[in-house]
Structure 1
Amino acid sequence: MASAARRWIIGRGLLGEAVARSRSDTPFSVPVDWTDAERTKQTLSSALTDFLAPSGVHEIYWCAGKGVTSTPRERLQQEVAVFESFLAALGRTSAESDAVVVLFLSSSVGGAYGGAVGGPFTEHSPAAPASAYGEAKLDMERLASAYGEAHGWRTVIGRLTNLYGPGQDLSKGQGLISTLVNSAVTLQPATIYVSLDTLRDYIYEDDAAAVISASAARARQLGAGETVTKIIGTGRAVSVGAIIGELRRLRRRSGFSLVGQGAAVGQALDLRVRSEVWPDLDAVIGTNLPEGLDRVMRARLDLLTRG
């Protein structure tokens, strides 16, 4: 099990692309149409035979999903159904293969602890979802653990804090940091839906991917059917106001025009976390917030320069 693993990264957005470039090998890949749930299920199921054909260790990283705290429950449940369909197909296909399967599921700190109080939260803190988004994430965690136990996979559930980086589609204003950076660069008003003293842990895309890759490698040492849940974050929470202050310093401008401030449904005020599971793997996190903000800002400026 010490040999190089074959990888399949499902969902190639901000996180998936970062995981793909965290190692030098070329991951297995198939084009997936995410606009049609039934077609998505069929494509992923059909690709499993080719992916699992060679013997050895096979790592699957589920980084897919477009849901956020404001996404309607019906759409979130569609994502859960696609994931469960994939797990069922993986169970059928892996039963006919001698491949060792390591499954990584990207989950969410905000989803798991959105309704909790008394941070910092750890992997041993009781989950307390505050939205349909959080409930869907926990549903997926339970499915991953149950199918993994039934089929002997090694499973890692990664509860990620707030992910950010240049890999995000800045033109769409996705994510709080991307929204604030866009405002700092274009001088357009930023619309946010949480108070300025809201505390969040922000992790740079490549740092998160490095922890995820290290966790998948560590998971090979688990017993068949075992599941480990790990919080993936920096362990350092900052307020929205502090981010705004840092962006003002970087841009040497005083102004931020904010609209839409206020408590949003499913958004906790304090989401400080501390990982107590495999904490040694967190040593690969090396990007501090000022460095990360500067990279995101430079990417946005470059995007504007290129039109």
Structure 2
Amino acid sequence: MAVLITGGAGYIGSHMVHALSDAGEACVVLDDLSTGSREALPEGVPLVVGDVGDQALVRRLAASYGVDAVAHFAARIVAPESVADPVGYYVANTGRTLALLGAVRDAGVRRFIFSSTAAVYGVSPPTPTREDAPLAPASPYGASKMMSERILADVAAAHGIEFVTLRYFNVAGADPLLRTGQRLPGATNLITVAIRAALGLNRGLEVYGTNLPTPDGTGVRDYIHVRDLANAHVAALGHLRAGGRSLTLNCGYGWGYSVRDVIASVKRVSGVDFPVTARPARPGDPYVSIADAGAIREALGWRPERADLDLIVGDALRFEQRWRANETRRPAKARRRAG
């Protein structure tokens, strides 16, 4: 048996690959390397460079590797970008998920783990947000994931597929052993951007919204360590292999930190001050986004191991430092080829 991991050379997907490899699980990665990296993968894990929407390719991989489960991470994920390019997002996220599910059905694979997002809840969900909260995505990104969730549920019901959909809140951090982390040069998540400001890679940090109806005027988010998130996927796989029913679950800790909290943590952990500039709030950004995380703990027995802001920041900082140092030492030609 093997797990097919789409987008497995990317940030979150590569952490699941490492978690599965650590557990002795066989897996194969399908990634077009548009945002992923070969260097993110453990040695010996097969990487097939290709399109997750290529149904013939997916069917061949399922047969060749004895795939019994699929974990689908491949997607475009920047909400503001999706507003400018809705067609691209619906094609990449919804269209390719539909094509992938068709191939999964044809190949007889009956277990599917789907990477979704808290963006399906929109800008003003009840807080903390339960899985049965109304879905009201405020961007094509969130809508593309919501549509994919519905397609998955319909295909699963028609063809005997069991699935776990995991709705991520704010993912951050890096592998504690520094084997993989955030490599994307244009990463937009706050912790990465703040760390790069501390390292002098960005010209300070811009904060969007400082007069919001929150305790300190800045947005509040539920940050989950990427290793804890990877472990949630491994637990979801175990649930499905044990004959568990289909589930949709939030992935978060159940508490939040403000933008000012994150900035203070990055400055504290790095020991570096950096300039912060206030900007107007961006339309569509929720003021507060915190998961009700009770269901995942109960259904999967999942328990986070790195639920501390300074720990999340510290792992991300150490990975960024090591990755930058390694990139600097590599020959220029090799760096260009990797990008």
TM normalised by structure 2 equals 0.78
The answer to whether the aligner puts 1:27 opposite 2:46 as a matched pair is no
| SS of equivalent residue, structure 1 residue 230 | strand
State the partner residue of 2:143.
135
Q: Is the 8 A contact 2:31 2:51 kept in 1?
A: no
- State the 1:287 CA deviation: 4.1
Q: 1 CA distance for matches of 2:78 and 2:53? A: 25
Instruction: Return the letter of the residue paired with 1:58.
Output: D
The answer to whether the aligner puts 1:81 opposite 2:95 as a matched pair is yes
Q: 2 CA distance for matches of 1:240 and 1:115? A: 17
Q: Is the 8 A contact 1:9 1:60 kept in 2?
A: yes
Q: 1 CA distance for matches of 2:296 and 2:171? A: 20
| SS of equivalent residue, structure 1 residue 141 | helix
Q: 2 CA distance for matches of 1:6 and 1:305? A: 34
Alignment of 1:1-307 (within 5 A): 5-12=1-8, 13-24=10-21, 25-30=25-30, 32=32, 40=51, 43-52=54-63, 58-70=68-80, 71=82, 72-79=85-92, 80-94=94-108, 101-109=110-118, 111-166=119-174, 167-169=181-183, 171-186=185-200, 188-195=203-210, 197-222=218-243, 226-253=245-272, 255-259=273-277, 261-280=279-298, 281-306=301-326, 307=328
- State the 1:40 CA deviation: 2.2
Q: Is the 8 A contact 2:52 2:74 kept in 1?
A: no
* Offset from partner CA, 1:157-176 (integer Å, 9 cap, x none): 10011111231126434311
Q: Is the 8 A contact 1:211 1:285 kept in 2?
A: no
- State the 1:247 CA deviation: 1.5
Instruction: Return the letter of the residue paired with 1:69.
Output: A
Q: 2 CA distance for matches of 1:248 and 1:260? A: 17
Q: 2 CA distance for matches of 1:81 and 1:243? A: 35
- State the 1:274 CA deviation: 1.1
Instruction: Return the letter of the residue paired with 1:271.
Output: S
Q: 2 CA distance for matches of 1:42 and 1:131? A: 23
- State the 1:102 CA deviation: 1.0
* Offset from partner CA, 1:14-54 (integer Å, 9 cap, x none): 1110010112233123454769xxx7256453232441467
* Offset from partner CA, 1:42-67 (integer Å, 9 cap, x none): 64532324414677x71100001123
| SS of equivalent residue, structure 1 residue 286 | coil
- State the 1:286 CA deviation: 2.9
Q: 1 CA distance for matches of 2:54 and 2:282? A: 36
Q: 1 CA distance for matches of 2:186 and 2:140? A: 23
Q: Percent identity?
A: 21
* Offset from partner CA, 1:246-294 (integer Å, 9 cap, x none): 12212334x3323462222321011111123231433143342111201
Unaligned runs of 5+ in 1: none
Q: How many residue pairs align between the two structures? A: 290
Instruction: Return the letter of the residue paired with 1:17.
Output: S
Gap change, CA 1:89 and 1:18, over 3 Å in 2: same
Instruction: Return the letter of the residue paired with 1:214.
Output: A
Instruction: Return the letter of the residue paired with 1:107.
Output: S
Q: 1 CA distance for matches of 2:324 and 2:64? A: 45
Higher RCO by CA contacts (8 Å cutoff, separation 6 or greater): 1
Q: Is the 8 A contact 1:157 1:230 kept in 2?
A: yes
Q: 2 CA distance for matches of 1:41 and 1:33? A: 11
- State the 1:199 CA deviation: 0.7
- State the 1:222 CA deviation: 4.5
CA RMSD after TM alignment: 2.4
Gap change, CA 1:139 and 1:303, over 3 Å in 2: same
| SS of equivalent residue, structure 1 residue 134 | helix
Gap change, CA 1:42 and 1:239, over 3 Å in 2: closer
Gap change, CA 1:132 and 1:171, over 3 Å in 2: closer
Q: 2 CA distance for matches of 1:30 and 1:189? A: 36
